[in-house]
């Protein structure tokens, strides 16, 4: 009999189980609502990136249905061959206006936008100066570029400046930060990083995945929030989180976008979005501009939930956004707490290594605009019970 050459994978999985890091996928039974059903249990959903509830907004659904009727379910090709529809161009024009930039290119995901952009804009003689907690897609793009990667400690502008200063003249330098850090919910020091990028002639890039639809006017991002228009050369956003659909985009100069049309590999070698996705994204921009109440409710719910967790004595780190970590230390403890909460009707995902540092395991709690006060109060009550049970508070 043939020996299974992948047998070592079972050992690795056994390892994960022993460390309490093995996760079964939770199955969503219906729509991704604020109060949803997972694994046939009705729970307050505190784990979704669908911040504004747009994933089930009637205007987005109708736009998707109409697009399917009119244009079918697939685009049939990559953008550069036969897969560019007028609606793809319309979405890019709308996003450029929304972001106050010359031009935008849409990718299949935020991951593809980051990886495709960083890997094509830099080459092997160049330098990438990157925050230690930047998203995995930035790290992968940096590796694919074959540039030298210099990592500075989280939000440490002085350390980033030191690195920029020590890079010899000649090669290109890219300074890159997340706008909102996805596991801690804190903000990148965008204005200070812009200043040192300007000082040393570096390209400035911000990944605004968790800021898209959450920070800035109508949710246009951290560059608007911090008043840094014109100082960030490359902005990445996602259409998969608060926008409620799927996709990522790069916003910048016409030359940058034209270059990415010709060189970004996910754009060149992977099929474009189906019509339903693109039409729903356009509808989402209409909703962001005409219904400001969603963002207002998100922030009101964020304040209520954060204040409640802190008042109970939980360590919520340095969050400045709806993403609220409840830091408990050991991964096994975070997972146990998450499971107990789930049994009581609250879904707050436990997160452990390698997504966060080994001793920083946490529950990642995120309110949505569509949670009721009753939902959130119930969640706080259950956090209190379970937190005491496992000895976190």
Ligand X SMILES: *Cc1c(COP(=O)(O)O)cnc(C)c1O
Helices (H) and strands (E) in the chain, counts: 14, 13
Question: For residue 186, what are its two tokens?
Answer: 């804190």
From the CB of 238, what's the least distance to ligand X, in Å?
4
From the CB of 42, what's the least distance to ligand X, in Å?
26
- Residue with smaller CB distance to ligand X, 175 or 209: 209
Residues in the site for ligand X, rule: CB under 6 A?
109-111, 114, 135, 137, 178, 182, 207, 209-210, 238, 240, 248
155 contacts 146 by C-beta, under 8 angstroms:
no
Greatest extent of the chain over all pairs of C-alpha atoms, in Å: 66
260 contacts 266 by C-beta, under 8 angstroms:
no
**91: Cα separation from own chain's centroid:** 20
- Residue with smaller CB distance to ligand X, 103 or 321: 321
- Residue with smaller CB distance to ligand X, 145 or 182: 182
- Residue with smaller CB distance to ligand X, 235 or 238: 238
CA gap 222, 208 in Å, rounded? 7
Task: Write out the H or E segment, with its range, that includes residue 252.
Answer: strand 248-252
Task: Find the length of the chain.
Answer: 393
From the CB of 183, what's the least distance to ligand X, in Å?
9
Among all residues, whose Cβ is closest to ligand X? 110
Annotated catalytic residues are: 182, 210, 241
From the CB of 111, what's the least distance to ligand X, in Å?
4
**97: Cα separation from own chain's centroid:** 21
Measured torsion, CA atoms of residues 48, 53, 57, 60, in degrees rounded to the nearest 10: -60
Q: Which residues are paired to 329 by β-bridges? A: 361
From the CB of 277, what's the least distance to ligand X, in Å?
11
- Residue with smaller CB distance to ligand X, 110 or 213: 110
Q: Which residues lie closer than 8 Å to 127 by C-beta, 6 or more apart?
A: 147, 148, 149, 150, 167, 171, 172, 173, 174
Question: For residue 131, what are its two tokens?
Answer: 């925050």
- Residue with smaller CB distance to ligand X, 117 or 338: 117
From the CB of 248, what's the least distance to ligand X, in Å?
5
Nearest to 232 by CA among 273, 257, 198: 198
85 contacts 275 by C-beta, under 8 angstroms:
yes
């Amino acid at each position: 009999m043939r020996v299974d050459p992948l047998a070592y994978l079972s050992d690795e999985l056994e390892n994960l189980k022993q460390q309490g890091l093995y996760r079964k996928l939770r199955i969503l039974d219906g729509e991704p609502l604020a109060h949803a059903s997972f694994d046939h249990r009705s729970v307050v959903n505190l784990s979704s990136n669908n911040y504004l509830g747009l994933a089930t907004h009637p205007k987005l659904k109708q736009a998707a249905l109409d697009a399917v009727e009119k244009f079918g379910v697939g685009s049939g090709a990559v953008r550069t061959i036969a897969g560019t529809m007028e609606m793809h161009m319309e979405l890019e024009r709308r996003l450029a206006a929304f972001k106050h930039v010359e031009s935008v290119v849409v990718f299949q995901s935020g991951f593809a936008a980051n990886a495709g952009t960083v890997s094509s804009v830099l080459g092997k003689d160049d330098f990438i100066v990157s925050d230690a907690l930047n998203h995995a897609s930035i790290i992968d793009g940096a590796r694919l570029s074959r540039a030298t990667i210099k990592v500075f400690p989280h939000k440490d502008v002085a350390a980033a400046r030191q690195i920029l200063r020590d890079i010899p003249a000649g090669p290109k330098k890219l300074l890159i930060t997340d706008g909102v850090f996805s596991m801690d919910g804190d903000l990148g020091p965008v204005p200070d990083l812009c200043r040192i990028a300007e000082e040393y002639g570096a390209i400035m890039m911000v990944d605004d995945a968790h800021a898209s639809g959450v920070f800035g006017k109508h949710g246009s991002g951290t560059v608007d929030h911090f008043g840094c228009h014109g100082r960030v050369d490359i902005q990445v956003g996602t259409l998969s989180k608060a926008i409620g659909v799927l996709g990522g985009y790069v916003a910048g100069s016409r030359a940058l976008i034209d270059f990415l049309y010709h060189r970004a590999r996910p754009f060149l070698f992977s099929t474009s979005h189906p019509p339903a996705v693109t039409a729903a994204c356009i509808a989402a921009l209409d909703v962001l501009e005409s219904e400001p109440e969603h963002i207002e409710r998100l922030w009101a719910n964020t304040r209520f939930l954060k204040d409640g967790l802190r008042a109970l004595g939980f360590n919520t780190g340095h969050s400045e956004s709806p993403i609220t970590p409840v830091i408990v230390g050991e991964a096994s403890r975070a997972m146990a707490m998450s499971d107990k909460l789930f049994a009581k009707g609250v879904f707050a995902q436990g997160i452990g290594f390698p997504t966060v540092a080994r001793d920083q395991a946490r529950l990642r709690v995120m309110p949505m605009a569509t949670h009721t006060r009753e939902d959130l109060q119930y969640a706080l009550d259950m956090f209190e019970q379970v937190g005491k049970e496992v000895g976190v508070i």
